[in-house]
Amino acid sequence: MNGEAGEFATERLSADGPSRTRVALLGSGDLSRELVTALQRLGAEVIAVDRYADAALHGIVDRSVVVDLSDNDELAAAIRWLQPKFVVVASDVVATDALAVAADTGFTRLVPGLRGARLAADPEGMRRLAADELGLPTAPFWFAGSVEELREVAEHAGYPMSVKPVGGSLGEGRSVMVRDSDIEPAWQRAVSAAVPGTPPRVLAETVVEFDSEVTLLAVHSEGPGGPALDFCAPIGHSSAEDPNGQLTVEFWQPHPMTAVALDAAKSIAARVARALGGRGLFGVDLLVHGDEVYFAGVDVRPYDAALLTLRTQRLSGFELQARGILGLATDTIMVSPGAARLIYSRRRTGPAAEVTPDSVTVVADALSVTESDVVVFRHHEGHPRRRLGLALATGPDVAIARDRAGQVATVLDKLWP
């Protein structure tokens, strides 16, 4: 543990006594802010564990400790010293052997479970779990680690095929190959959009027909009656990038689905959540075509989709996650149709604009839209696709809510010229 942070934490740990349930949060990114607040409101003591001394959440958590999350010995020692009741993994850069040691004590519970924590940073392993072990319906898929391997896949599977980075996010780097000449451009597009530090590897899938992309939030908890699993109303989503490199991801809830498709989606989500184990919230991504539903992926930290639920549900996804962690009663009641647009930083090729807009004026204009709300994110370090802002809106139906969220996003985008 880093000197000053470790000494500070030691001093504070002796002050409160053992009455509050202690939760160690591994990773202190800004998106965990709502989860921290929800846990604290329920009486938990939240300790942020991260490699930074001034991480985004250190101002609101009860305590903070600085350790190298990727170092097994250092992280295991920190968990042993803190003795938390729950360890919540909120980062992909976590030494999972240290988590296994913590779980073996029988005192500390992992969120998600050890298997979920390991697969969170292994999209390839997650897909193989779903298709090979669980037998979930997926588009036929292959993985490739070079242009030559991708060419062999295309020769075997035929066209059309979709290609995306294994270590990517937000739908970036996707291509559809329809002929041999598309192979190398598709490879280059995918690897250039991969998360920095991940190996060059792509997922190639046979193109299946679908009407919509849907995320189903599943909250897994353990109460007096045993394990329980509940589902939020389905969330539709799409992403688009304009010619200037501005990426916007849109969410809306509820997304219309047939009764047959919704039952199939819940069945898929339940099998995935139970296989990953542990408590908390899972975001299961699905492709829907009429009554047919295909598994597309799972996020053990579905913060993006959960942001919409801040206004659409009685208990937001963050509150559901907190209750699931602590073993408290949950409900997934939706109180209003709603929509959200997440604005991301541009992948700039030139210098940034020198004009600095008046943030108060811009936010005031955005909030003039009926039933609207905004969030402006803070950031600890640079990233080519940082979340900048969130436009939220509710309405009597999804169409009106989506239109309002679009109006809010158009105004809010002026903050980042």
How do residues 54-84 score in pLDDT, each as one tens digit? 777 888 999 999 999 999 999 999 999 999 9
pLDDT of the chain, 417 residues: tens digit per residue: 543 444 334 334 444 455 799 999 998 888 889 999 999 999 999 999 998 887 778 889 999 999 999 999 999 999 999 999 999 998 888 998 999 999 898 889 999 888 888 887 788 888 899 999 999 999 999 999 999 999 999 999 999 999 988 866 566 788 899 999 999 999 999 988 776 667 889 999 999 899 999 999 999 877 666 678 899 999 999 988 777 667 789 999 999 999 999 999 999 999 998 898 878 899 999 999 999 999 998 988 888 899 999 999 999 999 999 999 998 989 999 999 999 999 988 765 455 555 567 889 999 999 999 999 999 987 644 555 688 899 999 999 999 999 999 999 999 999 987
- Is residue 20 within 8 A of residue 12, CB to CB? The reply is no
From residue 175, give the alpha-carbon distance in Å to each of 123, 161, 186, 289.
18, 8, 6, 20
Write out the two tokens for 251.
Answer: 């969410």
> What local confidence, expressed as pLDDT, does residue 4 receive?
40
Helices 359-366 + 398-412 axis angle, to 10: 170
Name all domains of the chain by residue range, CATH numbers in brackets.
22-111 (3.40.50.20), 140-206 (3.30.1490.20)
- Residue 351: asked if its preceding bond is cis (omega within 30°), the reply is no
Cα radius of gyration (the chain): 22
The three-state secondary structure class of 209 is: coil
> What local confidence, expressed as pLDDT, does residue 41 receive?
96
How far apart, in whole angstroms, are the C-alpha atoms of residue 104 and residue 107? 8
> What local confidence, expressed as pLDDT, does residue 248 receive?
84
Q: Looking at the DSSP assignment, which residues form a beta bridge with residue 215? A: 235, 285
> What local confidence, expressed as pLDDT, does residue 11 receive?
36
> What local confidence, expressed as pLDDT, does residue 185 receive?
94
Alpha helix segments (H runs only) across 129-205: 147-157, 183-192
From residue 362, give the alpha-carbon distance in Å to each of 307, 341, 379, 394, 409.
21, 16, 20, 20, 11
Burial zone of 408 (CB within 10 Å; 0-12 exposed, 13-18 middle, 19+ buried):
buried
> What local confidence, expressed as pLDDT, does residue 10 receive?
37
- Which residues are CB-neighbours of 312 under 8 A, at least 6 positions away? 233, 253, 334, 335, 336, 337, 338, 394
- Is residue 355 within 8 A of residue 314, CB to CB? The reply is no
- Is residue 282 within 8 A of residue 112, CB to CB? The reply is yes
> What local confidence, expressed as pLDDT, does residue 380 receive?
46
Closest CA to 375 of 335, 322, 412: 412
H or E element in which residue 312 lies: helix 303-312
> What local confidence, expressed as pLDDT, does residue 241 receive?
75
Ramachandran quadrant class, 207 (left: phi over 0; alpha: psi -120 to 50; beta: rest) = beta
